[in-house]
Chains A and B, each alone.
Chain A
Amino acid sequence: MKKALLMLLTAVMVLSMAVVANAQDLGFTEYPIFEDEEVGFMNVSAVYFQPVPMSNGNENVEDFDIHLECDVSAMENDLGYGLGDWVPYLTVDYVVTSETDGEVAAEGTFMVMSASDGPHYGANISLSEADTYTVKFIFHNPEENGYLVHIDAETGPGGTFDEYFADGNLEVEVDGWDYTPQEW
């Protein structure tokens, strides 16, 4: 009986290992927040997934609930970005506000990073309460981070950031994000 039991348990372990090991790599599953919001020359989407360790001293994921990601790609523009290119050199602030009590649940400035699906703006954040939230992203002029545009007729793309940022920062605000903490 004992031998049979031991064999059965080993079989369960080996079988489950083998089944899963033969499965395809899933990568990571992104949980959508919103897609294709257009602001200025940018198309903006937001997703979240499990908190992730990052390089340069940002390995700790213990205190966070999700990794919030902001994907920014260029639309048709006269700033020299190719259609669909990731837009670099942005400072992107985020504010997550509860629609129940109006309290800010999380806010800060995204860091810039690369994942297996390319570069993005993102941050590990603590958001432990299930609620309906409003998500706001604030985009600063890339020139603040030293990104310049040729302005001569011969080499310049034709436009300047002033066309978009003359009135200050650009904002995307989306409400109705029904969020519940997930098990990662």
Chain B
Amino acid sequence: MLRYLILVTENLIVTAITVGMLFAFINELGNKTGKRILLVGALSGIAGAIAMAVIKNTTAKIHTGMWNLRIFIAFTVSVVLFLIFTIKPLLKKSAIPAAVSAELITFTSIFYTFPDVLAYPFSFNLNGASVLSTAFFSRFTGWLGGWVIALLTFMAVKYLCRKVSQDLVCGILDLALVITAAQRMIRGLDTLRATRVITDKALAHNIFVAAKFTTNNSDLFIYATLALTVIIPVTMLIRSFRITQPYKNSAEKRKLLAANQKNRGWSIVMILCYIMTILCMTWFTYLSTQTVELSPIEDALIKDGAVWVSFDQVSDGHLHRFAWTSENGVQIRFIVIKKPNSSSYGIGLDACDICGETGYYEKNGKIVCKLCDVVMNINTIGFKGGCNPKVIDYKIENGYIIVPTSTLLEHEKDFKS
């Protein structure tokens, strides 16, 4: 789940912020046609991105690097035009050209960022599980969470940027766009270097040095955008605690209080979205890259064609892992856990139909599938279904759980290594 929450948030957040600011800025120019032009840009970007996602994932007609280069060039040209048309003396006369350049920025931003993110659910690694599985649901929830963060950020930025000085918005927007354009152009040139379209050694080396920095520090660009724009919700939040505008009567005061409350609400939403983004890039990334080590395989008696596990060894209510190695050298693992408030044991293969041989681990008294993070109901271990361990035959005799090696051998194919 976390993996897709992080991926979607990191991919969309800068676009959400810049497009939100463009909407607010063009809206405040007060030109109706300008607003419509920008809306067309955004919707065309979404339509184009859907088409691109379909084509990219169903045909071999797209060389992503080269397509992106074209998009980056168009984006950079639009940014330059936007910077020119929004120079203060020009702005009054150039509301429509400014809106058109904002439209192009919006279109190219969405057309570049959305296709991969839209296609993620079609490439979830489900190990053959269906879209109705918990593995899919878990990933889809993360994916959806990223979209929610991006959408809320866009809405909050769009609302709040209309409430502050447009000079401030324009200044921050220009800076954010220049940073993004520089990063994207370096990435585009790097595609030409990596495919050896650029052959000049010195030039190729300079591009590589720049691309190495931007790639290995890609988070830095997101942080820079967040740092630049966080001024807006913080300013609005502080302002929202007092009424600065004059009012004539209590009705006007109530109106101003209500407006402050709304501003405070959107400021908090924006700050929370930023906190979530930072969490995604730090703590959640740390958590999602942690590899869980399975507990070691415990010794058990192997005699008379079976693995013998004594009750004493497994009666503590914790997860215990055992294994038997076949003649082909394949280690076939199974788990045993004493069920809570019961004298019975949950016994099953250390693998399931959905996630294969990845195995289970114990965390805070719960049994978790290592691949899909699904928490097992301990009482259902030993029963078929879902992400439960595969059921195996065994018998109980004289204080021992006895698992025939012939049973384990039937599952040799479930364990590749």
Contact = CB atoms under 8 A, between A and B. Distances in A.
Given A16-B48, A32-B196, 19 more contacts: A5-B39, A8-B40, A10-B47, A12-B44, A13-B48, A16-B47, A17-B55, A20-B51, A28-B60, A29-B65, A31-B194, A60-B125, A61-B123, A62-B123, A130-B211, A132-B208, A178-B193, A180-B190, A180-B212
Interface in B38-64: 39-40, 43-44, 47-48, 50-52, 54-55, 59-64
- List of 7 A-B pairs having minimum Cβ-Cβ separation, nearest first: A62-B125, A130-B215, A130-B212, A178-B208, A60-B125, A13-B47, A16-B51
Contacts of B55: 16-17, 20-21
Contacts of A28: 60
B290 interface: no
A9 B52 CA distance: 14
Given A178-B205, A183-B65, A13 B50 contact: yes
Contact of B195 (A23, A31, A61, A130): A31
Given A129-B216, A130-B216, A184 B64 contact: yes
Contacts of B204: 178
B191 interface: yes
A90 B349 CA distance: 36
Nearest to B128: A59
A20 B63 contact: no
Contacts, number: 93
Contacts of A25: 59-61
Interface string B120-140: 000111010000000000000
Interface in A19-51: 20-21, 23-29, 31-32
B68 interface: yes
Interface residues of B, number: 40
B60 A27 contact: yes
Contact of B52 (A5, A16, A178): A16
A63 B123 CA distance: 11
B416 interface: yes
Contact of B212 (A1, A21, A32, A131): A131
A99 to B, nearest CB: 12
B187 interface: yes
Interface in B185-227: 187, 190-191, 193-196, 204-205, 208, 211-212, 215-216
B205 to A, nearest CB: 7
A146 interface: no
Nearest to B213: A130
A5 B63 contact: no
B47 A180 contact: no
12 contacts: A1-B36, A5-B39, A13-B50, A16-B55, A17-B51, A25-B61, A26-B63, A29-B65, A32-B195, A131-B216, A181-B215, A183-B187
Nearest to A14: B51
A118 interface: no
Given A12-B48, A16-B48, A16-B51, A180 B194 contact: yes
Contacts of B196: 32
A169 interface: no
A59 B128 CA distance: 9
Contacts of A61: 123, 125
Contacts of B212: 130-131, 178, 180
Interface in A108-136: 129-132
A102 interface: no
A142 to B, nearest CB: 23
Contacts of A9: 43-44, 47
A5 B59 CA distance: 29
